[in-house]
Amino acid sequence: MTNPVDTVAAAVSAAGAPTLGARRVSAGYSWPECPRWHAGTFWFSDMYTGTLKTLDAEGNATVVVDATGRAAGTEVPITLGGFGWLPDGRLIVVSMHEKLVLVHNSGAPDDLSVYADISEYTLAAANDMVVDADGRAYITQLGFDLFKGDEPVASPLIVVEPDGTVSTPAKVGPLMCGNGIAISDDGTEVYVAEVMAFKITVMDRAADGTLSNPRDFATCPFMPDGIGLDADGGVWAAMPGGGYVARFTGQGLTHAVSLPLEDGIGSACLLGGPDRKTLYITAGFEVFDFAKSAREAQGTIWVADVEHSGGATRP
């Protein structure tokens, strides 16, 4: 079997893409994921500790949302995935294995309640999420039990309307392990990483939030995971096990950031910082053994300076 690092490196070389280095800014996490930039602050999910955290300018982390209390009386892992903010300022977050969207109600980290039950539409575990300006949430799902080694199956996006109604988009078919999801700078397109299809899919988004016309945007040399957009039409994608984060446009791979596997497995990325030209990258070493990942706490956060701005893209 071809080494994924060699495959991605060959694709970067063939594209003649400039390659940037990354620098580590923080460490000590389980499997960090779902990076966000909100109100001048970097946020992320420390997934296997059941928390959402922020970083200060020195790389020190603060727990802002703590769902660990939900583990009492259940064998379901409490793992927080994608999150975003409603127009009224409240934060909502996917509890992946509970198949719920939770809402953070106050300043207390553990003040959480159920915002939406998405279990009717979730085949295995819910995953990432992006929230639009109206408070509508678009949620991806794995579709199969990745952690038990099940065979991949296609599964639909899940939409939670501002009034709490849950549905799947009628004009968008199932995806092969939908993961990172993002909304373009002008709000007219939604992009999704289809992990098991090795591609990024784009679809049209109407003013009322309706999705339609799904189509291939870019083929990736390895499995894309978390994604972040820039305002110039680029999609930055982490490719776990591939040793790079890469930028794609409709014309192919244009830029790359090297993150050698000995430094961590890149899981997701997002443009943040004051001008949104800082590419934040989350990285870890253990994704399958939740307890080991939390116990060893080898996860890290990296940054790279890029020429493209995230603009008004979401998340």
The catalytic position among 46, 66, 225, 230 is 225
| Ligand-binding site membership of 128 (annotated) | no
Instruction: Judge residue 213's burial from the number of C-beta atoms within 10 Å of its C-beta, 0-12 exposed, 13-18 middle, 19 or more buried.
Output: exposed
Tell me the residue type at 51: T
| Ligand-binding site membership of 105 (annotated) | no
| Ligand-binding site membership of 145 (annotated) | yes
| Ligand-binding site membership of 296 (annotated) | no
| Residue 225 bears catalytic tag | yes
- Can you spell out the DSSP letters for the chain? ---HHHHHHHHHHHHT--EEE-EEEEEEESSEEEEEEETTEEEEEEGGGTEEEEE-TTS-EEEEEE-GGGGTT--S---EEEEEE-TTS-EEEEETTTTEEEEE-SSSTT-EEEEEE-GGG-SS-EEEEEE-TTS-EEEEE-SS-GGGTPPP--B--EEE-TTS-EE--TTS--BSSEEEEEE-TTSSEEEEEEGGGTEEEEEEE-TTS-EEEEEEEEE-SS---SEEE-TTS-EEEE-TTSSEEEEEETTEEEEEEE--GGG-EEEEEEEESTTS-EEEEEEES-SS-HHHHHHH--EEEEEEE-SS--TT-B-
Sequence length of the chain is 315
| Ligand-binding site membership of 60 (annotated) | no
**Residues 131, 241, 45: CA angle, nearest 5 degrees:** 35
Query: Which residue ranges make up the annotated binding site?
Result: 33, 127, 145, 179, 225
Q: Residues comprising the binding site for substrate?
A: 127, 145
Mind telling me the catalytic residues?
225
As annotated, the binding site for a divalent metal cation includes 33, 179, 225
